[in-house]
Amino acid sequence: MLQLNFIRENKEATLAGLRKRYFANAEAVVDEVLTLDQQRRDTQRELDDVLSQSNAKASQIGALMKAGDKAAAETAKAETADLKARSKVLADSLRQVEADLQSVLVTIPNIPHSSVPEGRSADDNEVVLEHGDKPQLHEGALPHWELIKKYDRDGGPIIDFELGVKISGAGFPVYKGKGARIQRAMINFFLDEAIKAGYSEVQPPIVINEDSGFGTGQLPDKEGQMYYVTEDKLYLIPTAEVPITNLYRDVILPENQLPVKNVGYTPCFRREAGSWGAHVRGLNRLHQFDKVEIVRVEKPENSYAALEEMSLYVQSLLQKLGLPYRVLRLCGGDMGFTSALTYDMEVWSAAQQRWLEVSSVSNFETYQANRLKLRSKLEGKTQLLHTLNGSALALPRILASILENNQTPEGIKIPDVLVPYCGFDTIS
């Protein structure tokens, strides 16, 4: 959530940032915030004045009674009662205007960083770099949803989409045999690499309450994309970012504990309402998938250096897996609601002849921290910290790319770095 004093003191910069995002009715929304803020401050001042008068009158009553001036004391009592009644009305008005102000503030997305390119959609994202050669596959090479049928053994294919439909529905595949072992191998590889890079592993819950969803910005923006457990009023997590970042909700971190670097593996759940078409076939888009997430809490002055470091770290994983990839800087119209700057990493799928997004690395600056009340005392002053997160990595499209890019007429070659984890070097 944007800080109110930032909007108040930087109206034009706020409007410019919202226009870069193509945020609808930016000027009207910002004007509403400023009007409500002025009402809040006026009401608070009036309430403070009435309470001050009430306290002064109350302190007079005893002295007047002691002096024997009963009439004046009764008058002071009546005036005090009127002031108390007035203070109650003002307190109710203040609560209402604060609620109205909050309800508008939470609809405003983060302001893009100055380096974010102009643009409305994914077509306008900036390609920062490309790495690796796109593999040239043999004649008859197949996309992964067809390729797995070649390895249908007695127990069925290594990824069974039909069995997942039977158990749960579309978008919930069953991984079997070597398919399951590759999944486990990737999870352990990604966790081990993160720990080597200085991240501390946590294993968080995979359901969250409403406060946690609000803290990282999923609520009230994305409730339609989240699975909701109505009886307990809990949400299945869309990413480990949510529970891991919420570890620090309502926390004042000592400066000597910064930066915070956490990594966690979780299953993730997304309804993906409205998704259809060839681009969502197979592993390309799922309702349940596995992901290893890195989360950082940084001093404001260090957060963009940390973002670049996280981008390079994710790239190092892709390089070790031998996958050709590119890095995109997302344009204003394609960024997530809470992000100030996002890099997407996409892997080339040789069989599908398209780029597949496998990671997003984002700096939220103070946007999440303001909701979370995540602070530290820096240079003698309590300040909001910066939060960052990144996929390191999301498994489904990584697995799809490994299967497709490494297929040969004899079988599918497993990346060397995964062989010690899964115990085989080929699927044949």
- Cite the annotated binding site for ATP by residue number: 270-272, 357-360
358 and 145 Cβ atoms separated by less than 8 Å: no
Q: Is 373 left (phi over 0), alpha (psi -120 to 50) or beta?
A: left
353: part of which helix (H) or strand (E)? none
Q: How many CA within 13 A on the CB side of residue 285?
A: 12
Give the annotated binding-site residues for L-serine: 239, 270, 293, 389
244 and 264 Cβ atoms separated by less than 8 Å: yes
Tell me the C-alpha to C-alpha distance, in Å, between residue 408 and each of 178, 411, 412: 17, 5, 6
Q: What secondary structure letter does DSSP report for 386? A: E
Which among 107, 112, 102, 119 is positioned nearest to 28, based on CA atoms? 107
User: What tokens were used for 244?
Assistant: 């891991």
Tell me the C-alpha to C-alpha distance, in Å, between residue 183 and each of 36, 56, 202, 298, 348: 51, 71, 19, 31, 20
Which among 38, 14, 34 is positioned nearest to 26, based on CA atoms? 14
Query: Cα–Cα distance between 229 and 223 in angstroms, integer?
Result: 12
User: What tokens were used for 360?
Assistant: 């997003």
Sign of the alpha-carbon dihedral angle for 51, 54, 56, 62: negative
Give the annotated binding-site residues: 239, 270-272, 293, 357-360, 389
